[in-house]
Structures are given as C-alpha cells and as structure tokens.
Structure 1
Amino acid sequence: MAITPARLSFISSAFFEFIYPEKAYGEKVNDFERYSNWLKQNKSPNEFQQICDLMFYNFLIDTDFISDYEGFVQTKIRLNISPVFARIERAKLDGKIHESLLDTVKSVLDVLRSKYIIDKVKDDLSYVLKMNFVFEWVLENGLEILSTDDDIEVIYTKIVADISTKDISTTNNLYFCDAANEIKEFAKLLDKIPLIKNDVPKKDLAYKSGKETREYSRENVLKASEWKKIIQYVSDRVKINEEIFQGKRQYGSFLLRYLNIDNLMFSSGERVFQNVMSWIYFLGCFNKYIVKSEHHTRKDLLICLDEIDLSLHPAWQRDFVDYLVTYINNCYRENNVQIIMTTHSPLCLSNFPRSNIIYLQKTENGTEVDISEHKETFGTNLYEILDDAFYLDCNSMGRFAKKYIQDVIKEIREISYLNQEVYNSYKQKIECIGDTLIRNKLGEQLLKKLKETKGQMVAVDTIDKEIKQLELKRRKIMEEMSDSTKVSEE
C-alpha cells in the first residue's frame, strides 16, 4: 500500500467505502443505496485529508504529544455541512450524476425545496443535517411523509419518533437511529461554537456561514474544550466503522457523509509535514477503518519516503527522524516496520548511522551506488557530512558567494595603487563575508596593500623632496655661473 498524493484518490475511495459497502453480485439495490453509492464515489481526497488531519490531532491529544509536536496545529476549526441539494446541483453541472439517479432524487428535492427555510439552511448546520436526514429517509421509505404541509423540523421529529418505536436491530433502522443520535450530539457541540458569516445578502450565491471554534495559542489548546470535543467526536464517528467489520451495521457515520472542515490550510512546508505525519498515523489504523479486507495492510510494513526534506524548514529537517520514530513506535505496536527514505539534507542524514546508508553518485554511466568508504554520519558535524556524503569536495559554500570571494582576492592582488577611498570600498565588500577566517584574511591582505602603498608614497615624497632640493641647487649654480660670465665680459 503506497500513500502518495497521486494515490490519495484511491486511499480516499477505500476509506469512504463505509458510506455504501458494495453488496453481493445480483442483490437488488434500492434508491437510497443508489444515492449512497453515488455519494461515496463523489467524495474527494480533500475531504479524506480533512478527516486524516483531525484524527491525527486526536492522536496527539490522546498521547500527550501535542505540546511537543513541532508541526503546525490549526487551533481554529471552521465547520460546515454540505446540503444535499447543493451537492447534487454541483454534480449536475459537472456531469457527475447519472440521469436515472437524477430523475429519482429530483422528485424528493422538489418537495423538500418547498418546505425548507432558506435562511435556516444558510445559517443553521443542525437544520441542514436534519434536511439531509429527511431526504435520505424518504429515498428509503417513500414520499408519503412529505404529503402534509409540515415543515422540515416537524417531519424530522415525526421520523425520529417513529424510529424509536421500531426494532433498531434491522440494518436501516440502526443507521437512521444512529444518524438521529449523531445530529442530537453534534447540535450540542455546535451550540457552544459561534456562527460566522460574510456580509453579502443571504440570497447571493457568495453568502457563506459556518461554525468556527475560537483561535487559541499553542500552549492553551488542550484547555480549549470546544476544540477538543469537536476533534474527538469526529474521530469517534470514524471509529464506528469497525462495527461494519463485526457485522453490527452496514453503513458508517451519517455525519461524515456531509461534514466539511473549511479552513485546514497550511503553507507548503506545513502541509508536507502534516501530510506525512497524518498519513503515517492513518496507515497504522488502516485495517480498522477500511471496509474491504483486500486493501488491508500486512503485519510487516515497508514505509518509503522520497526526498522528505523538500519544503521543510531546516529545524523540521533536523527533527523529522525523531518525530517519525516516535510516531511509528506508537502507531505500529503490532507491526514490524522498515523505513526507506531518500534525502538531500545533511540535517536528516546526521540521524542515521553510516551502515544504514546507501550513497548514490552521478557518473558518466548515470547514477550508481558508491561503494567507497565514507565517514561516520550519525551525530556528525554537518560540514563534514556535506563534504563527504554529498560530494561537495570541500565546496560547501554557495557558488555565487565563492566566485564573489575569488574576484575580491584577485582584485586585491592586482591592485598597484591603493588610496583611502579605494581601501574603504574594498573593506565594505569584505565585511559582508560570513566566514570569519576568510573575512579576516582578506582584511589583512587589504591592509597590507594599503601599508605598502603608503610606504611607496613616503618614498616618492622623499624623492620628490630630494628632486626639489637638487633643482634649487641646480638653479643656484646656474645663477652663479651666469653672474661669473657677466664679470668676465666686463
């Protein structure tokens, strides 16, 4: 089983199988089951990732790892419920619903539209859940209950009262009974969370609302009861899928069919870190939450991580292996796990002994395994790892910076005359170099040049003075000779 962004669609489909586990070949399928199958097929990988993130948060809470987890934790969660008619309308526009199913659900939706209150649909998540519940129940049991003038709330109440008088051991009665309980429990949680909405008119398609937990600091997140309870409740609804394997139910959570978490947004590095950690956690629970046994993982697991350092902050590169080992030890207690990872990061490599590393080097024949002797990497200085493991040949400095320094060295060597102004300009060039040894050495060379220039200037000044004195003597001698010639002529 490979969990990659490219494979996420397959993993998502396998997870959402709880919405409608396939029946044996030849069994008759009713309208409710056809709709459930369509809903399952239209679940997106993004919806699966939302659940993965919340389950991972719940794991961090349960294991007391959340205070030590260096990855980003979204301490403000925005909840929304997808109305069934909105899903179907969108699918209709995208051509993702078969005409036969569309004809079946249209008659139910037309009646529901005449009964629901648009303002409540826009602002009341519990009301949307009740409307979706009534829609599903009518698909299973027929339109008769919609024949009165009762509104959605009254119809929902009648259905719940009717279910309570029946034997819930039957498959569908159990599903709808559990759905009603979920709506009741979820409504209690929602009552403690403030409503948020934008300022456009409710009739506008751009109008959005939802329930959003308050934002908390990382230190106080465990005290945020509403935040914790939402996460724990969603995680608990995922866990009831185990009952499908035990034959206690045919369908999983009603809530997870329609729940959306709108704001689990991260930077690219945060998302990479979160994805790896949440997928590793989920893979450890895979067999509990995936219906089909052919998708189940084995006891011996091979986890391959390709270029894990991509997009990660250096601090996360440094600590990633520690997190990885900690979470694998906690998530895979009953499994034998081998990890293979590739990396270009010396920060990651310093966590692995040399005996656990295979070095790859580009040659004229392509990329080959390097079997030459390498230095120990575990706990080794990063500069030594860069030089030895990444074939930098002592060139751990950026190429541009290296050329800059070489040019400064060449120019200082070739300077024949250095005045104070030129000296100051080169001094500024040298001061931006971070390596103390190189910076100091170049400073010494520049100062030496300046001293040499000053020495030369002193010598030139001395010679100039001597020349001036000789010129004076010459002039005096010439004057004396001129005077002597005049006396002789007289």
Structure 2
Amino acid sequence: MTILYLWLEKYNTFENLNVNFGGRYIFNFNQIENKLEMKENPHYIDKFFDIVELNSNSEISLLTGIVGSNGTGKTTLIEVLRNIFTEKYEDLNFKFILVTKNDGKVKVLSNLENNLSIPTIGIRVEKNHSEKKSIIFISTIFDRKIEKSRDNEINLSTNYLLKNINMDSYESAKIRQDLAFLQFNNKHRLLDDVEFKLPEKLIVHILDTLSNEKIDKSLSLSDKIIDQKNRFIINIQYNFVNYALNIIDHWLEVEVLYKQDSRNVEKVRRLIDVKNEIKNYKSWDYLREQLNFYKQGKHNNINLLVNLMHFVDKIIDTTEHSKDFEVKIESDSSFSLSSNKEIFDFIQLYSKNVVGSRDFFGFQWRSLSTGEESLLDIFSRIFQSSKKTMSRKWSEEIIIFIDEVENNLHPHWQKQIVNHLLRIIKLLFKNKKIHLILTSHSPFIISDIPHTNIIMLERNGDISNVKENIEDLERTFAGNIHTLLAHSFFMKNGLMGTFSKEKINKVYSQIINSDRNELLLNRVILEKQINIISEPLIRNKLLSELENRLKLDIHDEILILKERLQNLENISYDKNK
C-alpha cells in the first residue's frame, strides 16, 4: 500500500493540512465545494526507487521525505498516519481524508460527516470505515515520549523498547539484535558497500548491581591481590552475590505484596533463608553448595540463580582454559570476546541464563563510533522488523516509517543512508511492496529524493503547514548540497554561524566607531581577527576599511609634523642649557 494524499482538519499545530506524498496523482481538498480534486503528477516515474538489478521479489513502491526544522511537526505527521491505520475512526479526535493505493486500486478513506465529491475514475470511497494496515515504526530517538502498543504495528522505537525494561537490559537486547543481523549479513553479504568496519570485538562489563543489603568486597580486593585475573574473578563473584540479593528482594516483594496467598508462606520462608545465607557469604564454593541445597524442582526460582551461577563458573573457567569461548580480561570488571561466533555463542548462553529482564552484564562494541553504532542499529532494527513480518499474516503491502533517519550520522554517511536503506529493505522483505517514509532535517537526505516526493513543513507562529510552492526550492534530486543548505528553508539569515557573525559585526563596529589612536593601539588584534575569516569578500572588505580609517589626510599630517618639530626643538633647547 502507498499513501497518496492526506487532508487534516486540525490536529496539534496542524490546521487545514494538505499533503501529497509523491504518487501518480496530486490531490487537493476544496473545502468550499466539499470536493476532492485530482490531477496527474507530471514528475511521477513508476518504480523509480525500486533497485531492479537486485535479485529480489519485493518492491519499493514509493519513497517520501518529510523535512522541516525542529518543532514543525514531522513526527506528529507520522503519528497522525499511525493513528489512522491502527485506531477506530470513531476514536480519532480529528477529521481527515486519506487517499491510498492498494493492489493497484485508489481508495479514499474519510471520517467526514458530509458526502465527499470525488473524481469518478475508478476511485472507491470508504467512509467511516476503519481499515487497519501493516505498518512499521523505527526511531532511534529517546525523548521519553510515551509509546503504546498498536494493532498491526511493529514498533521498534527506542521509546517503546525502553518502556518495560531498564537501560542495561535494552543494551543487551540491542547487542543480540545486532548479532543476529551481522550473522545474516555474513551469509548474504548485504553490506559489502558499507564503508565502516563491522564490529569484531565485544566488551562485556560486570554491572555494579544495586542492592539494599550490598555485600562489601573491599576486604577481598586487598593490596595483596595484585593479579588482575584474580581481581576480576573476585569482582564477578561478589557482583553475583549482590545480584542474587537484589533478585530475591524482588521475588519477596512479588510474593508478599501482590500474591498474598497463605500457600506461599513456605516459599517466602525459603527465600528468606536463602537470602540470609547469601548475606553471610563465606566463599564461592559454600554459596554454590547452599544454592544447590535450597533449589527444589524444575520451576523453583532458586534454580534460576543456580543456572546463572553455573554460567559465571563457565566464564571463570574460560579465563584459564579455552572452551566454549575465549575470554580476554580487559580490566578488573570487564572482558572481551573477539570473533562473531564466540560473541554469538556467549550471548546465546547468557540469554538462557540471565534472570528475567535484570541484566548481569553490560555490553559495548569496541572500535565503533557513535555514528557507526547508529547505522548498525538502524540496519538491525530493519532486519528485526522483517523477521517479525514473516511470523505474522500481513498483507503484501507495508508502510515503513523511520523517524530522523540521519540521527548521529556523519554527513558522509547521511549521503549514503537512503541508498543503503533501499537496498537492505528490498533484500530483507520478501514478497512485499514497501512505501518508505523518512523524516529528516538534513539536505543530504533531500538530495536523494525528487522534490515532488518531499513534504516540506514550516511553522508560522503556532501553526504548522506544508510549504505551499515547492517549486521555490527548484529541483532537489541530485541537488548540490551547498545550494540546498543555503536555501532559506534550511538556513534563515544565511549559512554563517551566529557566534562568528557577532564577532564580525563587533570588529566592523570597532573599526567604524573608534578614533585613529584607538585603532592604532588595537591594530594587531583587529588584523588577527580579520585574517582568520574564511569568506574572502568579508575579509578583504574589513581589511580595506581598517586601512582607510588609519590613513591620514593632509591637515593631520601637517599637525603631526609640527608636533614632531616642536618636540625636536625642545630637546635641542634642553641640551644647550
């Protein structure tokens, strides 16, 4: 399915919003006549974004860019579309007209009360008829915005993923998704044209577990223990002890506060006994013996701690003997794994043994910059969403929203991201037709999208709307980045930074308003400030102005010469006394 047009009466900062998405037809809602007007899009090229040379049975049917500065409503526009596709129309708090194309048929969806006059060329009207569509929402932005679960939506936004888990659990889940994508990529070579080096080393940190009754390890980590391996082993053992105390406190809270069942008395008593044994921690072997004693049955909670303890034992053993994976100790509280297979095997074992959503370890890719991690994050989320679509009975046509796709990316990668997305999406989504919608405020993204496929949002006061005449920007596709960036839509008041502009204005004011003696006194520092200006026109103009102000007219020269002559006469008179 592709979105062709949206009219929105009023929502948030939008009023009477008319949006075309770059399809075969251009629409406009004439409110006076209650009529939907339609004409051919003269710039439309069928399958323009579909990379046909890739051996895939999927199709990128349309690409749309939503651009604008912060606060213009890019994410809000996506929110409106997500609401239309996932909510019942009677539950929506706005009036709208939406034109889509599905299975080759143009369809008008609307919740307007009055009958809508539409063109009669094979367009079907469905009034007040909720039609849930398959959509994917991806965003790496974390701004604590509340994200809810929606029917027929795969939500892989950071806000949603962090909704029910803590940051450490999110990081470990993210690493697992990265690994799944990297393994798929190693087999199918999706990223051969990506220039950054894929990660080959994973740093694993022992998390400092917070506990109300934390066991102090300072006595064990005395100056006598100078071997880093032994310090590492003691660290991981004591962290397990505090982790176990934290977990048991959580289990007790659940049993006592929420279940309140007399049948749980024995379970609570057993947990308290285990907790007391852990608090009186004597040695690692003794703790293992006690946990094995208290575990009862396959589904007993204590059994989960026993399994995790066995996993920690495996790591300790691996520091001495290479078995399942090779651990290299990096510090007293961290170690590294150096091959994708070892990393994957380790994460698989860890996922099976970690207790619930409470992470025992933290993870970080070595040698990846923030931008490289962001790029890998986007790719792995797309991969994850493609796997989820295969497990659901979705229609062939899907809409993918990616919010602020250039987030944390260097301009060099911003130039490449659209091409990477089109290729990866086409290869990952089997038997699907995709409408990809990106939000951005980067001219690098815009240069890969024709101007008729760009929705330019601007804000005037409290109202946001689409820029009326998109031709003002001329052509954007394959456009010069400097030309696009210099356009007032991206940069009001020119390209120069505010700080440098204020400095230049201050220098100019000093040149104009100072007298000659002041200028002579400050000449060196003024010339230094002028000479670091990159723009030659401004630099030469200021130097010329400074020289002109320092020049003397004939009367000034006569006065200065008379003054010098008088000084010489005074000196001669003093010597002759």
TM-score (norm: length of structure 2): 0.48
> Structure 1, unaligned stretches of length 5 or more?
14-42, 123-127, 143-151, 157-184, 199-207, 214-225, 239-252, 473-490
* Alignment partners' CA distance in 2, 1:60 and 1:136: 45
> Structure 2, unaligned stretches of length 5 or more?
1-153, 207-235, 301-305, 311-317, 570-577
Pick aligned residue for 2:324 from 174, 186, 190: 190
The verdict on how the C-alpha distance between 1:466 and 1:303 changes in structure 2, with shifts beyond 3 A counting, is closer
- Give the aligned partner of residue 163 of structure 1: none
* Alignment partners' CA distance in 1, 2:376 and 2:180: 12
Matched, 1:325 2:478: no
The verdict on how the C-alpha distance between 1:332 and 1:422 changes in structure 2, with shifts beyond 3 A counting, is same
Q: 1:357-372, aligned counterparts within 5 Å?
A: 357-364=454-461, 366-372=463-469
- Give the aligned partner of residue 449 of structure 1: 549
- Give the aligned partner of residue 427 of structure 1: 527
C-alpha displacement at 1:368, in angstroms? 0.9
Matched, 1:91 2:266: no
Q: 1:275-424, aligned counterparts within 5 Å?
A: 275-287=377-389, 293=392, 299-364=396-461, 366-372=463-469, 373=471, 374-388=473-487, 390-393=489-492, 395-417=494-516, 420-424=520-524
C-alpha displacement at 1:340, in angstroms? 1.6
- Give the aligned partner of residue 32 of structure 1: none
Helix, strand or coil for the counterpart of 2:487?
A: helix
TM-score (norm: length of structure 1): 0.56
The verdict on how the C-alpha distance between 1:120 and 1:462 changes in structure 2, with shifts beyond 3 A counting, is same
* Alignment partners' CA distance in 1, 2:508 and 2:530: 10
Q: Give the number of the structure whose residues are more often helix, by fraction.
A: 1
* Alignment partners' CA distance in 1, 2:299 and 2:502: 78
Check the 8 A contact 2:329/2:335 in 1, yes or no.
yes
The verdict on how the C-alpha distance between 1:424 and 1:389 changes in structure 2, with shifts beyond 3 A counting, is closer
* Alignment partners' CA distance in 1, 2:193 and 2:204: 22
- Give the aligned partner of residue 134 of structure 2: none
* Alignment partners' CA distance in 1, 2:268 and 2:389: 34
Q: 1:165-204, aligned counterparts within 5 Å?
A: 189-190=323-324, 192-194=326-328, 198=332
- Give the aligned partner of residue 202 of structure 2: 76
C-alpha displacement at 1:283, in angstroms? 1.1
* Alignment partners' CA distance in 1, 2:563 and 2:249: 100
* Alignment partners' CA distance in 2, 1:4 and 1:357: 23
Pick aligned residue for 1:51 from 176, 198, 204: 176
State the Cα deviation string for residues 239-269 of structure 1 (Å, max 9, x = none): xxxxxxxxxxxxxx84577886523268765
Check the 8 A contact 1:281/1:331 in 2, yes or no.
yes
* Alignment partners' CA distance in 2, 1:417 and 1:384: 41
The aligned amino acid for 1:285 is K
The verdict on how the C-alpha distance between 1:86 and 1:422 changes in structure 2, with shifts beyond 3 A counting, is closer
Check the 8 A contact 2:400/2:437 in 1, yes or no.
yes
Q: How many residues align?
A: 352
Q: 1:76-225, aligned counterparts within 5 Å?
A: 76-78=202-204, 89-94=245-250, 97-99=254-256, 103-104=266-267, 118-119=283-284, 139-140=297-298, 189-190=323-324, 192-194=326-328, 198=332, 212-213=336-337
The verdict on how the C-alpha distance between 1:139 and 1:78 changes in structure 2, with shifts beyond 3 A counting, is same
The aligned amino acid for 1:386 is L
C-alpha displacement at 1:402, in angstroms? 1.8
C-alpha displacement at 1:195, in angstroms? 5.2
The verdict on how the C-alpha distance between 1:119 and 1:88 changes in structure 2, with shifts beyond 3 A counting, is closer
- Give the aligned partner of residue 341 of structure 2: 229
Helix, strand or coil for the counterpart of 1:139?
A: coil
Pick aligned residue for 1:4 from 157, 174, 181: 157
Helix, strand or coil for the counterpart of 1:91?
A: helix
Check the 8 A contact 1:358/1:369 in 2, yes or no.
yes
Check the 8 A contact 1:317/1:347 in 2, yes or no.
yes
* Alignment partners' CA distance in 2, 1:96 and 1:276: 38
Helix, strand or coil for the counterpart of 2:155?
A: coil
* Alignment partners' CA distance in 2, 1:345 and 1:378: 13
* Alignment partners' CA distance in 1, 2:488 and 2:198: 31
If asked which structure has higher relative contact order (CA below 8 Å, sep 6+), I would say 2
The verdict on how the C-alpha distance between 1:332 and 1:381 changes in structure 2, with shifts beyond 3 A counting, is same
The aligned amino acid for 1:212 is S
Check the 8 A contact 1:55/1:235 in 2, yes or no.
no
* Alignment partners' CA distance in 1, 2:330 and 2:492: 58
Check the 8 A contact 2:406/2:440 in 1, yes or no.
yes
The aligned amino acid for 1:56 is F
